[in-house]
Structure 1
Amino acid sequence: MKRLHKILILLTVLVTVLYSCSTQKDTLVSKNFHALTAKYNVLFNGEQAFQQGLKDIREQHTDNFWKRLQIEPITFDERKIEAPKFNSPGEDFNNKQEENKSATPFDRAEEKAVKAIQKHSMNIKGYEKNRQIDDAYLLLGKSRYYTQRFIPAVEAFNYIIANYPNANLNYETRVWRAKANVRLGNEETAIQSMKLLLKVVDEKEEISKEVQEQAYTAMAMAYTETDTIQKVIEHLNNATQTFINREQSARNMFILGQVYSELNRKDSARMVFQKLANKKQAPVKYRIHANIELVKNSAKDSSDVLLINRFKKLIKNTDNRKYYDELYYQLGTLYEDRGNTKKAVEYYKKSLTAKDGSNYQKTYTYERLGNLHFNKQDYLLAGSYYDSVLQITSKEFDSEKRIRRIRRKNKGLTTLKKYEDVVKNNDSILQLVAMSTNERTAYFESYIEKIKKEDEERRQQLLNSQNFGNQFGGGTSFGNNKGKWYFYNTQSKGFGEAEFQRIWGTRPLEDNWRLSDKTAINSNNEIAEEEDINKSRYELATYIEAIPTDPKILNQLKEDRNDALYQLGLIYKEQFKNTGLAIKNFERLTNLNQKEELKLPLNYHLYQLYTEVGEIAKATRAKEFILQNYPNTRFAEIIISPDKKLEAIEEKEDEIAKKYKELYYLYKNYKYEEVVNQINTFSETVAKSDLIPKLALLKALAIGKYKSKEEYKKALEFVAFSYANKEEGKKAEEIIKLLK
């Protein structure tokens, strides 16, 4: 009986305690129990998950300091993120585990916030008695915000504002609601609510400095979306006055400087960046980039010397290693601005080799190097640097105006390289053809001796460094650069790699790697042939037999070279405005040219170029050649009347267009000979028209329909050379290539 009595007493006490802790019991014990349980159990775990989510966001987000930063450093996933689904009682536990595996930290934080509300809310007669529930709703709203569910987030924030008007986090909640509205595109609503918070509320009760910072930041976000730049400046200024949240305040200050720079208010930008660079409370990345922005906004005067010294000091600090690519680059720009291109190139190359350098930074470095060589007329090397820019540019930045400009520029340089290679290669072959047998033999014997000596020196270096007889006799530590084992000796390994690549090139790691053609895998002769490639380099016959002797091949080499010279002259004249190189190529072609159809355009281009550089005698000679031999051409008319107004010619355009349609109709009706005859007659009466190239191409196409291939090719070549920069000239060039 006594034992039963004790059990009943214990049960009674337990029931009493549980009843006193009921969510519907307005007692001190119940309120404290649920408040403490919610805060130190459920919400604590939720807050930990939320902080982990923020950490993940910071790690995933990458700032591009070349562009204006986002005020809120978040990279949202463009895909829609759905709400987490929680299993109801009775559902398969394994399914729940699978869902939880894919849940984000913010999903887990939301789950904890919901749990705190469901199990610990003490809403008695319309009044919430648990002081932790407003925190739970705020955590719920913030978690939804970071999972891009902004409407449910606003609902959570509205609940707090409506039901907890006196809560200590009410004002902070209003800021979060404003940010959610900005994300939803309701900028005006966000602005009005922040104005009310900062002006009306502040008159009745003082708002904390931290909340003021957040409110001004939210206002700047809203005005950024409305493109009200002056208001953005005003609120960013206000947000940086107290510097309580160091990360966000430094960010706001940096963005403020960027905005001033965009508005070309360089003095204001320098003041902001100078202040940020010297602010020890600011995170390092903002201070470093503030120094970089000082260079971009510098006045290009004696202050450059101070900046150079400052950057050298920053580079000496090894804590700044992760920023070396940017620091070296800006140091290079400072030297380039001072005219010291040698130093500039040195630092640009250091920027490219800096560890952990970003590809986007490298695009600017390669562009600078390309521009330097382009300005020195080293076009081929400039093209290589522009190629590098395009190769490392990601799709994200591929449509930038700067990248599009480089692509256009590089397209011309690629064409230039193609024609320069043709001229160089064909000149070399034709030079060998022109040599006597003894001269060729002496030339190639000298070349073979040279490569033998180079190969022997390389081989000797490799043998000296490897010491194969002792390479396995007692190893040393992995860190010792002079270890006896081959792969521990970095110098030996480097020589070995170089020798392997010289002989075999770059081969993938696979079976039968020595064979470039795997279809020959069963042929021992193929293997032997590949291994003997190196020996053939030392045989005189290898080179002598490669020299062409067929007259057709030699004539084609000359034609291709002359064509390349003409195209080079046009590129230098029209695209790169390099008068000297244009004249050089045109003059050389004049001495080599055998084609009648090239004489007119060549002399006309030279007449223009000589006039431009003030070589009057040469210009007069080219002018007289055109007027004497081609008096009825468009070129002659332009030379005779360079300032003549084109009204008369423009009046004829409609007539010429009408005639072109008639001729094209005849062409479509297979009357090719009539088309050619009419164009010959009509062209003599037309002094100048934009349709002349079209008529010339139509004539060439008609000739190809009823005359020989040679005559067709000759007509196309006239169009290609005379109108090389026109669509018709390019089309003719394409047809010629197909004919070849």
Structure 2
Amino acid sequence: MRRFLTYIFLLATLASCSQFSKKPASVAFHNINAKYNALWQAERVEKELIKKIQEDQKENYRNLLPIFYFPPTQLAANYKSDVDKIIKKASLVIDRHQNSHFIDDAYLMIGKGRVYQADWKNAIETFKYVNSIDPDETRQITSLLDLFKVYIQTNEFQEADRVNEFLLSFDLNKAQKKDFYLLKAWYSQKKQEPLQMIALLEEALPLINNTSEKARILYILGQVNFLQNREAQAITYFQRVSENKSNYDLAFQAKLAIYQIKDNEAEILKMLKEGKNEEYKPFLYVALGQIYYQKNDFNQAKYYWELGAKNADQKGELFLQLGHLFAKQFRKPKEATIFYDSAMVYLNNSHPEYQEIKTSSDKWKKFGGLLDEVHLNDSLLTLSTKSDAELMQIYTKAIASKIQKNDSSRVNSIKKIEIPQINFVRRQSTPEQQSFYFYNDLVRLRGEQEFIGKYGSRILEDFWNRKTKNNIINTSETSSTIGPNTALPNNALAITNKNQSKESVKDSSTIWLESIPRTPKEIALTQKKIEKSIFESGKFAKFDLEDNTLAKEQLQVLLKRFPQTEFEAEALYLLYLSEVNEPKEREVFKKALIEKYPESHFKTLLIKNETGTLSDNKELEAQKLYEKAFNLFKEGQFEESFRICINLDNQYPGSHLEDKIVFLKALNKGALKDFSAYENFLNLIVQSFPKSKLKAEAEARLKTIKNR
């Protein structure tokens, strides 16, 4: 009987522990297991994860720090195991403790896990769900704050505004107010509203108890005040950071910022000598370089940045500064490209300027290529004036010089321009890239340099590694030997092995001699290449590099070297656009364009630039005049039709019919057998109106012209 009663008691106890029971004993049992087992373990893993993320976080003190930091999406995989544990532990509460009071806490924890995974969509849905089912105000506020944070992170500002309105309806406690003010300040930071950001951070400061968190907000306040030219306020905030001993990194950066604002080179040099700052030397060299950069002493800035790049472990920022220096001040494309590429090697691809650096590298590489084309063809023209005997003498000297050079000097030839040796190293690639060498451009570039160092430059052909195959002289290496204006052209052949056969030398010289223009037609073609490359470099500098000074330099070289250039109208227009600070010079180019090229489309663009868009009434007038011109064309009155097109440009610049007017001009010139103008107008359609429906027909007509 006693045993029977024991069984009955055990069954009753187990029944009371059912997760669907509402009995006090059952609810208490599941509350304890949910909070002090599953959720406690999830929170413990989350704390460790936050610690890992903070350790991995690399602050870029040169830029305004973000108020909140999220790991880059590509790094989310690094934390996958921890996040999986968090979600798994939190899910146990939902699966096994349905009657506990901590179901919503479990969903909130799962939502946080989604955030750590950068799974924004599911994180949003989770926080919305908690807010919709939980009557508890504290949990509602928590879910709304988390939702607000995700919307700001994903730049969904309209949705963020709605959440902000909801939060304003609650009476927030001190901790909630702190988070709310910081989130709103971050929102203002994202929307580039610095003054509002400052006000919100100042509201949040008294509510922050954690000293490390407070130091970071003080540092951000120093940064944003400095960016607003409020130097006195910036120094005050930086001083408060430097007095805070909770974070040496921030204290060091704040102290450095104060010295930099005050141009106090002596104090920074003193910091360089302190042993505790050994690992911080890159920041000190960056600061010293920036002090001299602001003084327009670019050579001294270069000195400090190069010094830092030679001795520092963290070279990315220094290479970035050097890239900007050689691009924007020295305007040396090759050197700028080298430093930008090196910066990408050392900087993480989550760096805020990473994509901008890559774009800058590509742009300066292309600009440098245009200048190389000019230099190469100038060299060819110089060589074309030499006799056969003189050419063979030049060739022989180049070969002799090439033989004397050590292979390693080819790889290290960058030292000639007095910049540090760049060591390209493999940057951590994504899982997909790890297995395929050619997906990583920087690693491939390093391999290319190693190849050149071992084998020399080789043309792409079968059996390239045979000793008797011909090698290639690199233009940059032979120009200094032959003279500044007689560099051997690309693909000119050189010999790096003293034991190569005489027949091989003869073949090489023949190929090189054949690359030199000798006939009037070849010389004219080379001149045309130079003319086009100079024009393209000026145009590229204006629109892609956005460097008006460089654009003016190249375009003025074009007009001086080629007074009758076919690109004169467009060059005058570009010079007009580039003279933003000199109204008198601008007027000179405007007058020259209007007087010399009254029929040019670039004159129309110039007028459009000054008059703005047309009214609806003017558009209607332009439509009627265009119909008249088109009817005249159909009647065979081509000259009168063309004249009306010119009037259309003058009276209604920038109308919606702009592409049709240019195309009608082309048709009229074609009918009048002025094929040069016909081709120019068709090219204008293709280049200036890429979205026009007439582009395809213009391309087809151009193709017909070329096939004639």
Q: Does 1:336 align with 2:293?
A: yes
**Any idea what SS the aligned residue of 2:516 has?**
coil
Q: Is the 8 A contact 1:47 1:109 kept in 2?
A: no
Give the TM-score normalised by the residue count of structure 2.
0.59
- Between the aligned partners of 1:38 and 1:695, the Cα distance in structure 2 is 75
Structure 2 counterpart of 1:305: 265
Percentage of identical aligned residues: 19
Structure 1 counterpart of 2:486: none
What is the deviation of 1:345? Answer: 1.5
1:497-516, aligned counterparts within 5 Å?
A: 501-502=452-453, 504=455, 516=460
Change (3 A) 1:64 1:350: same
Match of 1:105 among 65, 85, 92: 85
1:21-32, aligned counterparts within 5 Å?
A: none
Match of 2:167 among 190, 199, 203: 190
What is the deviation of 1:104? Answer: 1.6
Structure 2 counterpart of 1:48: 44
- Between the aligned partners of 1:236 and 1:681, the Cα distance in structure 2 is 63
Q: Does 1:576 align with 2:548?
A: yes
Match of 1:433 among 384, 388, 395: 384
**Any idea what SS the aligned residue of 2:330 has?**
helix
**Any idea what SS the aligned residue of 1:104 has?**
helix
1:408-423, aligned counterparts within 5 Å?
A: 417=368, 419-423=370-374
Per chain length, whose mean CA-contact separation is higher, i.e. which structure has more relative contact order (CA < 8 Å, sep 6+)?
2
What is the deviation of 1:254? Answer: 3.0
Deviations 1:155-211 (A, max 9, x none): 8985596xxxxxxxxxxx79746634644853344355454x34xxxxxxxxxxxxx
Structure 2 counterpart of 1:129: none
1:702-721, aligned counterparts within 5 Å?
A: 702-704=668-670, 707=673, 712-713=675-676, 716=679
Gapped regions of structure 1 (runs ≥ 5): 81-99, 122-132, 162-172, 199-211, 462-495, 507-513
Deviations 1:220-244 (A, max 9, x none): 3256548897786566446545864
Q: Does 1:543 align with 2:512?
A: yes
Q: Does 1:290 align with 2:254?
A: yes
1:144-293, aligned counterparts within 5 Å?
A: 144-147=111-114, 148=123, 149-151=126-128, 153=130, 159=136, 176=142, 179-180=145-146, 182-183=148-149, 185=160, 186-191=163-168, 193-195=170-172, 197-198=173-174, 215-222=177-184, 224-225=186-187, 233=198, 236-237=201-202, 239-241=204-206, 244-261=209-226, 263-281=228-246, 283-291=247-255, 293=257
What is the deviation of 1:280? Answer: 1.0
- Between the aligned partners of 2:299 and 2:555, the Cα distance in structure 1 is 28
1:7-22, aligned counterparts within 5 Å?
A: none
- Between the aligned partners of 1:410 and 1:735, the Cα distance in structure 2 is 30
1:521-536, aligned counterparts within 5 Å?
A: 530=469, 534=495, 535=500, 536=504
Q: Does 1:675 align with 2:638?
A: yes
Give the TM-score normalised by the residue count of structure 1.
0.57
What is the deviation of 1:250? Answer: 2.7
Q: Is the 8 A contact 2:305 2:321 kept in 1?
A: no
1:602-613, aligned counterparts within 5 Å?
A: none
- Between the aligned partners of 1:623 and 1:216, the Cα distance in structure 2 is 58
What is the deviation of 1:247? Answer: 3.5
- Higher Cα Rg, which structure: 1
Look up the equivalent residue of 2:548 and give its one-letter code. Answer: F
- Between the aligned partners of 2:257 and 2:344, the Cα distance in structure 1 is 25
- Between the aligned partners of 2:249 and 2:578, the Cα distance in structure 1 is 53
What is the deviation of 1:333? Answer: 1.0
| Aligned Cα root-mean-square deviation (Å) | 6.8
Higher mean C-alpha deviation, range 342-351 or range 529-538 = 529-538
What is the deviation of 1:152? Answer: 5.3
- Between the aligned partners of 2:129 and 2:649, the Cα distance in structure 1 is 74
What is the deviation of 1:270? Answer: 2.2
Q: Does 1:739 align with 2:701?
A: no
Change (3 A) 1:102 1:410: closer
Gapped regions of structure 2 (runs ≥ 5): 19-24, 115-122, 152-159, 413-446, 473-494
- Between the aligned partners of 1:363 and 1:739, the Cα distance in structure 2 is 45
Change (3 A) 1:701 1:313: farther
**Any idea what SS the aligned residue of 1:317 has?**
helix
1:90-129, aligned counterparts within 5 Å?
A: 104-111=84-91
Q: Is the 8 A contact 1:69 1:255 kept in 2?
A: yes
Structure 2 counterpart of 1:83: none
What is the deviation of 1:276? Answer: 1.0
Deviations 1:636-694 (A, max 9, x none): xx9xxx9xx99xxx999999986655444555x494xx425764799799999959999
Match of 1:446 among 387, 393, 397: 397
What is the deviation of 1:219? Answer: 3.6
Q: Does 1:586 align with 2:559?
A: yes
Q: Is the 8 A contact 1:679 1:695 kept in 2?
A: no
What is the deviation of 1:33? Answer: 10
Change (3 A) 1:325 1:680: same
What is the deviation of 1:440? Answer: 2.0
Change (3 A) 1:660 1:561: farther
Structure 2 counterpart of 1:348: 305
Q: Is the 8 A contact 2:323 2:339 kept in 1?
A: yes
- Between the aligned partners of 2:453 and 2:72, the Cα distance in structure 1 is 48
Deviations 1:532-575 (A, max 9, x none): 77444685444334334344222222333345556667888996
Deviations 1:106-146 (A, max 9, x none): 22442465689679x7xxxxxxxxxxx88x97677445444
- Between the aligned partners of 1:607 and 1:44, the Cα distance in structure 2 is 69
- Between the aligned partners of 1:238 and 1:606, the Cα distance in structure 2 is 50
Change (3 A) 1:724 1:75: closer
